[in-house]
Amino acid sequence: MQTIKAAVCHEFGAPLVIEQVQLAPPGMGEVEVTLDAVAICHSDISYAEGAWGGHLPAVYGHEAAGVITSTGSGVQGFAEGDSVVVTLIRSCGTCPSCAGGRPVICETPHDTMSGPLKTADGKPLDQAMACGAFAEKVVVDQRQIVKIPGDMGKDAAALVSCGVITGVGAVVNAAQLRAGQDVVVIGAGGVGLNAIQGARIAGARRIVAVDMSPEKLAIAKEFGATHGVLATEEKPWKAAFKALGGRGADAVLITVGAIPAYEQAPRYLARGGKAVLIGMPHSGAKASYEPVVLAAVGQGLIGSKMGDVVIQRDIPWMVDLYQQGRLKLDELISARWSLEQINEAIADTKTGSAKRNVIVFG
């Protein structure tokens, strides 16, 4: 096993510790990727705060990009030197969900505690979210990676592996938005901005961003929102109706984890509209609805994990849009930090002002 540097969580809610850890070589069907960049997602922060439980010690991080530096036996279609994005979507390819075209909800369990990571003294170390990308290198299954152009900036590419596919994918795959329909996006953070981009790319007529921050609403318009509504208004859905010409939205995408956003979401809907639940509240948090209203006007609620993407199909398409100048990635990066600055980067992300903070290596 080789030794690499990683940011390790030893206690929920405590600062991450930069230390040496052991990384096993890639096994059957696995690749080693030397990382150039990993973005900080709010899911990483929530996990590190204990919002959803999990094992400790652990290495978080799952929005990453780099270069393959070693391959295990049985790897097909990848070789050393390939530039790739690394995702947390580990799929078996054979369970009913995978066979049905929904690998993001693969039914085959994966034990991350028996993965390639160990502490410096050889004790178990959780490869959280099947990635453990707050580290110089990762060893992951070949199904978790997608090849990208070698000249594409890895800091921008890293964003595609979670925030971008989650936001854009929720629009095109979960909401199945048609050209000319209207959209409300609740939350103008990293995922919300990508949902706005997805709605613009899909041909939405009007896109209303809802957020607590006027500054974020201004940024949302740069990414394609046609209107902005402050969530602090007494009844923000009324302002959204006005922006949409006196009707509700065909799709409402909730990209934050705040329970009030989930409870209010149906109020923004048109008859027959659907609310897409994307953000991740803490375990145990509950929202309430009046079912008779949803039933009476044919509205629906649907959960969307990771944009319901098939990464081998959807990521190349999104990368191509980026290269054409139709998908903003560089503009999503708020700041770049070193691994040693990760706790500062996390603190900055928690203020809510950053779109995406990115850890860069080298």
CATH of the domain at 92: 3.90.180.10
Please determine, for residue 247, whether its predicted confidence score (pLDDT) is greater than 90: yes
Q: Is 112 helix (H, G, I), strand (E, B) or coil?
A: helix
Q: Return phi, psi of residue 302, to 5°.
A: -140, 135
**Domain end point (choices 266, 282, 303):** 303
> Does the residue 168 lie in any domain?
no
Can you state the angle between helices 190-202 and 214-222, rounded to 10 degrees?
40
Residue 54 near residue 154 (C-beta atoms within 8 A): no
- Do 151 and 257 lie in a common domain? no
> Does the residue 169 lie in any domain?
no
**Domain end point (choices 256, 282, 303):** 303
> Does the residue 212 lie in any domain?
yes
- Do 281 and 319 lie in a common domain? no
> Does the residue 121 lie in any domain?
yes
Average pLDDT, the chain: 96
Q: Which amino acid is at 344?
A: E
Beta bridge partners of 18: 7
Q: pTM to 2 decimals?
A: 0.95
- Do 255 and 356 lie in a common domain? no
> Does the residue 244 lie in any domain?
yes
Residue for token digits 């929202």?
Answer: 287
> Does the residue 171 lie in any domain?
no
Residue 282 near residue 251 (C-beta atoms within 8 A): no
- Do 191 and 147 lie in a common domain? no
- Do 97 and 23 lie in a common domain? yes
Residue 243 near residue 206 (C-beta atoms within 8 A): yes
- Do 189 and 260 lie in a common domain? yes
- Do 187 and 142 lie in a common domain? no
Q: Is 151 helix (H, G, I), strand (E, B) or coil?
A: coil
- Do 14 and 137 lie in a common domain? yes
Please determine, for residue 334, whether its predicted confidence score (pLDDT) is greater than 90: yes
**Domain end point (choices 269, 285, 303):** 303
> Does the residue 167 lie in any domain?
no
Average pLDDT score over residue span 135-150: 98
Q: Which domain holds residue 332?
A: 2-162+308-360
* Least confident window among 47-51, 166-170, 180-184, 197-201: 47-51
Phi/psi-derived region of residue 62, left when phi > 0, alpha when psi is between -120 and 50, beta in every other case: alpha
- Do 153 and 294 lie in a common domain? no
Give the pLDDT confidence score for residue 5 in this predicted structure: 98
Classify the C-alpha dihedral 107-104-249-176 as positive or negative.
negative
- Do 299 and 327 lie in a common domain? no
Please determine, for residue 352, whether its predicted confidence score (pLDDT) is greater than 90: no
Classify the C-alpha dihedral 328-330-334-340 as positive or negative.
positive
Closest residue by Cα to residue 132 from 282, 15, 256, 24 = 24
- For the stretch 254-277, what's the b/e string if a residue is b when 16 or more beta carbons lie within 10 angstroms of its beta carbon? bbbbbeebbebbbbbbbeebbbbb
Percent residues over pLDDT 70 in the chain: 100
CB atoms within 10 A of CB 297: 14
Q: Return phi, psi of residue 342, to 5°.
A: -60, -35
Q: Return phi, psi of residue 177, to 5°.
A: -65, 135
> Does the residue 170 lie in any domain?
no
Number of folded domains that form the chain: 2
Average pLDDT score over residue span 343-356: 92
Average pLDDT score over residue span 197-203: 98
CB atoms within 10 A of CB 130: 20
- Do 22 and 147 lie in a common domain? yes
Of the pLDDT bands very low, low, confident and very high (cuts 50, 70, 90), residue 144 is very high
- Do 187 and 93 lie in a common domain? no
H/E stretch holding 191? helix 190-202
Closest residue by Cα to residue 208 from 175, 231, 174, 179 = 231
Residues 6+ apart with CB under 8 A from 72: 25, 26, 27, 28, 29, 30, 31
Closest residue by Cα to residue 58 from 132, 114, 167 = 132
Give the pLDDT confidence score for residue 354 in this predicted structure: 83
